[in-house]
Structure 1
Amino acid sequence: MMDGSVSLSELSCKNIYVKIDDKLEGKLFDLRKKQFRSIRDMSRTSDIPENKLEAFFWHGDSYNLEIFLKIVKIFGIKNYEKRIVWIGGKTRGGGIRNPRIPFNFNSFHGGKFIAAVLGDGNFSKNLSVGYINFCPDMITSFKDVSKEVFGDINIKTDRKNWILLPRIAGRILLCLGLKPGRKTATNPRMPDFIKNGSRKCKIGFLQQFSDDEGSAQIRPPYSYSIRFELAREIPYDKITEKHEYVPSLLLDLHSLLRELGYSVTNIYGGRVYRGRKRLTRYAVSWCFDIQGKFSLEKFRRDIGFRVGERKEKLDYGLSMMTKNTYGPKAINTAIVGFHNAQKVRGIVTKHHMKSEMKQTIRNAQAWLSKLERRGLIERCSGGVVICNGRGFCGLEGRTPLGYKISDKGLRFLKEVNKGKTYTIRSCPVNAGERVYSCKWSNTTKT
């Protein structure tokens, strides 16, 4: 259990039954006849009641796991786990055919299964395990992962986005130390066998948990991050101590990502809202971000998103981070884009730059600031009439609304265009004049 595997001896329970293959079944009957004269004789020499031995050898095709383990121990049979063809509860309708005993969760698929249960899944108090997701690919992936971990497990699908596993899966999770109940109330932790396990197990856990609880916060040019957010319930009288109620799973996830070399922010948030279906408790939401181009590229390479929208946003954000480096080629592109906007508008604002460069308003403003610091453009002030595009030209001395290319920018643009001539436009109106149609006059410079 400490290494992430669950054997039959750890799973022993009165309500669990197994079916064995014909070869092992025949061997048990032959050994009983050879070593004991009768069922009563076998009961006397062991601590197994006679009625349970009779039920084991003479009734039904499924055997109580507790009795089965005692009998194979009496006869000294080894490697019996490979002879089990079915395991499940006493009631019909749920179980695992050809189970992969011992159940190993210290693996890539094992880490993904645990992350799914702690993410969009649920582990209820009646030991039923479920998973809900509105993405069909995620539902299919969870089914495949469940079969890789348990074997041919019986899976029920409800409403196409909610699947249920038999209770035998919940009993196995109990052996791993997971707590049943609402996650916001039980405050689950990341199992130790994942924190101390193999790299494949950690990557599997992070892949699934990122798809369930991660989000791509891409808002160029200033916001490039991947966010993880979890909530935890606290009593009303503890609301002033909310900083002591950070979800343990979020703390473990934060430590794991730092251990793997990712650049993560400190945990922040503390947004308070009323707990679900609870009148006496609050829920507090906490989060942290993965930031930096190196960490985001590493995340896409090693972990990544499988959901289309988040995957596309991450790819777009990384491409924008590559394009927005202020190198020589980027400056050339920016000054040419500024020139194209000035040919049409005469005076360039951040909105014109946004349309010309096909970028966000913040990114356009960042480019204007960069070009101004280099002296390639200058603000329209000191007697220059400024038109805001709505028919009004501002008074002299007011806050500039736009930019124009400078003499240095003209020389730089000439070098970029290799001596080509270009045209700019100006609007000859008097200061303070309200105009509703502006006839632009062309001025050609070389």
Structure 2
Amino acid sequence: MEKILIDIGSSTVKVYKYSNKKLNLILQRSLYFKDGFDPEGGISPENKKELFELLEAIKEENKDVSIRIYATGIFRKLAPETKVNFIDEVFLRTGLYFNIIDQDLENFYLEMALVGKCNLNEPVLLINIGGGSTELVVMYGKEAIERLNLDFGVGKIISDFPQINEEISRAKLEEVVESVKNLLPSLQNKPKIAFYTGNELTYMKLANYPLKKNNLFEDEDHPYLIEFEDFKNKNKEIFEKITLKELESLMPDNPKWMHGARPCSTIAQAICEKYNIEKIVPSDSNIINGIVRQEFRHVTLSGSFRKHLDYIIEVKKKLENNGVIVLSPRFTIPKTPETEFVIFHGEEGLSPLELERYHLESIKKSDALIVCDPNGYVGASALLEIGFAHSLGKRIIFTEKPEEFILNNLPFEIGLLL
């Protein structure tokens, strides 16, 4: 089934079409949400207007297609009440759930995007630079062994060094690099190779960086690498010899995206210098690539265990086969089937109250509450759990459109990516 997945960061909106297990970028738009942003007031009226117009256009062009939003960066800085109100406003105006993912989940998606791509027997650094934040993850094989979440990105460089985006940069590359290096903490591990993610492969090809064939490992998504010294020299050329207009002309459909080119490359250069990176593998992978591989770490399933147990167990199996940990229900064989309150083998000795409290506690630890509601049926206990999840600001996903009127007025999503 075709789906539209929208990645909304601090300065860029990327729209992907996911169909037949293939992911294609279909739209990229620069929107500088940091401009006029206030944690209590939210994004500026101008940015809000442009965002809503974009979401409505995406809906109009993709009627009857499931659309998912994944927001990061500056949206995490919204004050709690402002965040709730904004999510409600987006849902009421567009019918879309504005899913703001936390930093740990974003890291997980980045790791999932690249896990297994590199089979070298040594640590590898993942670099993801956004408009308002930067994530560094050291991977060893399929395991993340070290993480750094930095509270700055492209926006800070543009703010601190406004001359960087003059036709020829009057900000000196070396000075900007040193300022970034001063913000970087130490790494315990000593990687020599870095994945540089977020459309960087496309950018380096457009800007004619001296890329070489990737002779470190084979992966069709990562055919090239660049020596750090070559990366550094090309950055200097883009600062001192290539005009901003020339950069903009490389991406005529979204020229503003190139306003982040010099700042982003500067941060990447500082990171590579600080941690003695020798080779860079440019990558177009981002969180959406990770999401389509595994969207959740932990979930709780809700629904009528009395009426729809087989349906719920089938959803549980599908999730677990995809690597997701289902925190509740833990067991699958009912001891008291079709009774008022179903107890499973393995839950003996626990009262209904204790079991419901465990179920609610698992919601706190979950990335989402998944409501199994064949034909839209939602029972009384599921209503309690949905209300609890909503009060926590948790993501709520129904497997089918719910019948209850009030549920259709709470922010929610329908269907799984599986």
Please indicate, yes or no, whether the TM-score normalized by the shorter chain is above 0.5: no
Larger helix percent = 1
Q: Shorter-chain TM-score category?
A: under 0.3
Question: Which of the pair has more CA radius of gyration?
Answer: 1
